[in-house]
């Protein structure tokens, strides 16, 4: 097996430790969930969250909505929205705030046994995005500006990709399906490239997905790339040794980028190169047919009809930059 033993042992230890503490805690009986509150109690406006010390001794309480929407009630305690500040699910004094904070008070809805839906909000299309943004207009990154982002439209909204109540249990961020499937729904050519091309990143399995390189909430101008916090291509997040700086830089961060030579979405060629022959890839720039471009001097007098010279990187191994060799030989 490939994984470092201590890493897996750490995981095991973590879960084991949690179980021991949990078992120890079970010696003190925990309060059972109280019955659902009455509709009248449920209509009470959401109270601010009590201080942690106040919460400790209080009994757990389910929102009244769960009496009917039982399936939602089962799943919701694990939902990140159950931890909304000031609206914590199942905590005394909070009542129906977790449901009401998005769906409205629902008083008439409850009083009519579900017939009247006039005071219950359901979300679809742009209204969904707008409502989510009342909280999720995050300022944590420079590009968290969904309204003008690449995915702001009538056909796509927050609920196109996320589901508050029926998300895929094994996915983070409340995604409706596995993240790569969500993206493939619209970006079929890229998904087909990942599936079909023999040399491709292992997307959707083992921790890498579309969002590893792209920010779905980002802007169109840079293809919503998930740049490093310091403005570098996302490739550098993993391929850190290509970052440099080098004394003898090649393409990256000079005039081109990783994509000058590589196709990250899957390639027919080894190393995900954009050409099947390396010599042609190199000569396309280094051809001295125009004096106006950078790096266009010819690569010596190599006879590329000989197989020995058909793969430039056989000798010029340090194509990503070198500190030792101006010709990138080492």
Partner 1 sequence: MRTRSLLPAVLLLLFAAGIAAAQTYPLELEFGYRFLNVDGNMEEYRSQINERQGFLIRRITFASTDPIGQPGFLDHFRFDGSELGIGPAGSFRMEAGRTGLYDLRFFYRRAEAFSALPDFANPFFPAVIPGQHTFSRVRNVYDAELEILPGHVITPLLGYIRNEYSGPGRTTYHIGQDEFQLNEYLSNRDEEFRLGAAFNTGPVSGRFLQGWRRFRENDSFGLVPGANNGNNNFPVLGINITASSINRTTETKTDTPVTLALVTGRIGSRLKLIGSYQRAHGETDATEGEAATGSFVSFFEISRFFNGLAESASTKSEATFWKGMGRAEFVVADGVDLSAEYSRRHRYMTGFALVSTLYQDTRTFTSSDPPNIQLLLQANNSMDRFDTVFDTNLTVRSLGPFALRAGWTRDDSDLTVSPDLSEIVISGNQGGSFNRRIDTYRGGASYSVAGFTLAADYTGDRANKAVMRTDYLDRDQYRFRLSWSTEPFLRVSFNGRKTTASNDDPGIDFASKIWEYGGDLEFIPAKPVTLRFSASKFLAHTSIPIRVPQDFSIALSEHREDGVSLEGGASLLLGPVRLDGSYARFTNGGSYPFNIDRARASVEVPVWTNMAVLGEWWRDQYNDAPQNLGSLGRYNANRYGVYLRWAPWAAATEAKEQGVKAPPPEKKAE
Any contact of residue 23 with partner 1 (CB under 8 A)?
yes
Q: Site size for partner 1, by CB under 8 A?
A: 159
Place of tokens 């890229």: 190
CA distance 178 to 307: 45
Nearest partner of 65 among 110, 101, 104, 117, judged by Cα: 110
DSSP letter string over 39-59?
Answer: HHHHTSPPPPPPPHHHHTTSP
Q: Which is nearer to partner 1, 107 or 257 (CB)?
A: 257
DSSP letter string over 253-299?
Answer: TTTB-GGGTB-TT-BSSGGGBSSS-HHHHHHTTS--S-TTSTT----
Q: Which is nearer to partner 1, 40 or 280 (CB)?
A: 280
Q: Whole-number minimum distance, CB 35 to partner 1, in Å?
A: 20
Q: Which is nearer to partner 1, 45 or 307 (CB)?
A: 307
- Strand, helix or coil at 90? coil
CB 228, CB 158: distance < 8 Å: no
Any contact of residue 257 with partner 1 (CB under 8 A)?
no
Instruction: For CA atoms 101, 106, 110, 115, give the dihedral sign.
Output: negative
Binder among 38, 112, 118, 276 for partner 1 (CB under 8 A):
276
Site for partner 1 in 47-86 (CB under 8 A): 49, 52, 55-56, 71, 74-75, 77-78, 80, 82-83, 85
DSSP letter string over 93-136?
Answer: TTTTHHHHHHH---HHHHHTTT---TT-----HHHHHHHHHHHH
CA distance 4 to 125: 46
Place of tokens 């994509």: 259
Any contact of residue 32 with partner 1 (CB under 8 A)?
no
Q: Whole-number minimum distance, CB 232 to partner 1, in Å?
A: 8
CB 200, CB 208: distance < 8 Å: no
Site for partner 1 in 147-166 (CB under 8 A): 147-148, 152-156, 159-161, 163-166
* Choices 38-46, 62-70, 108-116, 275-283 (CB under 8 A): range interacting with partner 1: 275-283
Q: Which is nearer to partner 1, 2 or 45 (CB)?
A: 2
Q: Whole-number minimum distance, CB 40 to partner 1, in Å?
A: 26
Site for partner 1 in 97-136 (CB under 8 A): 122-126, 128-130
Q: Which residues, 6+ apart, have CB-to-CB distance to 191 below 8 Å?
A: 180, 183, 184
Q: Which is nearer to partner 1, 38 or 153 (CB)?
A: 153
Q: Whole-number minimum distance, CB 36 to partner 1, in Å?
A: 18
Q: Whole-number minimum distance, CB 213 to partner 1, in Å?
A: 13
Q: Which is nearer to partner 1, 67 or 208 (CB)?
A: 208
User: What are the structure tokens assigned to 163, written together?
Assistant: 């589901």
* Choices 34-42, 62-70, 111-119, 227-235 (CB under 8 A): range interacting with partner 1: 227-235
CA distance 205 to 1: 17
Q: Whole-number minimum distance, CB 226 to partner 1, in Å?
A: 13
Any contact of residue 298 with partner 1 (CB under 8 A)?
yes
Instruction: For CA atoms 193, 194, 195, 197, give the dihedral sign.
Output: positive
Site for partner 1 in 163-222 (CB under 8 A): 163-166, 168-170, 172, 176-177, 182, 185-189, 192-193, 195-199, 202, 205-208, 219-221
User: What are the structure tokens assigned to 116, written together?
Assistant: 């009247």
Q: Which is nearer to partner 1, 45 or 78 (CB)?
A: 78
Q: Whole-number minimum distance, CB 37 to partner 1, in Å?
A: 19
Any contact of residue 38 with partner 1 (CB under 8 A)?
no
């Amino acid at each position: 097996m490939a994984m470092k033993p201590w890493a897996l042992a750490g995981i095991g230890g973590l879960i084991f430790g949690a179980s021991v503490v949990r078992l120890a805690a079970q010696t003190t009986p925990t309060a059972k969930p109280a019955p659902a509150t009455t509709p009248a109690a449920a209509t009470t406006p959401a109270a601010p969250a009590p201080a942690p010390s106040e919460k400790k001794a209080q009994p757990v309480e389910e929102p009244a909505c769960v009496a009917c929407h039982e399936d939602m009630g089962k799943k919701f305690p694990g939902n990140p929205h159950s931890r909304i500040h000031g609206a914590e699910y199942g905590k005394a004094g909070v009542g129906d705030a977790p449901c009401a904070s998005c769906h409205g008070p629902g008083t008439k809805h409850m009083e009519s046994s579900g017939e009247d839906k006039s005071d219950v909000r359901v979300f679809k299309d742009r209204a969904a995005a707008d409502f989510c943004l009342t909280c999720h207009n995050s300022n944590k990154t420079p590009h968290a500006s969904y309204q003008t982002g690449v995915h702001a439209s009538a056909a796509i909204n927050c609920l196109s990709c996320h589901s508050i109540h029926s998300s895929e249990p094994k996915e983070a961020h409340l995604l409706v399906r596995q993240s790569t499937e969500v993206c493939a729904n619209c970006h079929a050519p890229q998904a087909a490239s990942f599936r079909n091309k023999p040399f491709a990143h292992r997307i959707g399995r083992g921790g890498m997905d579309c969002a590893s390189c792209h920010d779905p909430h980002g802007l169109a101008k840079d293809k919503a790339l998930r740049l490093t916090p310091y403005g570098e291509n996302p490739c550098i997040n993993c391929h850190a040794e290509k970052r440099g700086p080098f004394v003898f830089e090649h393409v990256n961060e000079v005039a081109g980028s990783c994509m000058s030579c590589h196709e990250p979405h899957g390639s027919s060629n080894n190393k995900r190169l954009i050409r099947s022959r390396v010599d042609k890839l190199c000569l396309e720039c280094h051809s001295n047919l125009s004096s106006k471009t950078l790096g266009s001097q010819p690569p010596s007098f190599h006879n590329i009809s000989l197989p020995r010279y058909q793969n430039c990187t056989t000798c010029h191994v340090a194509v990503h930059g070198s500190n030792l060799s101006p010709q990138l030989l080492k």
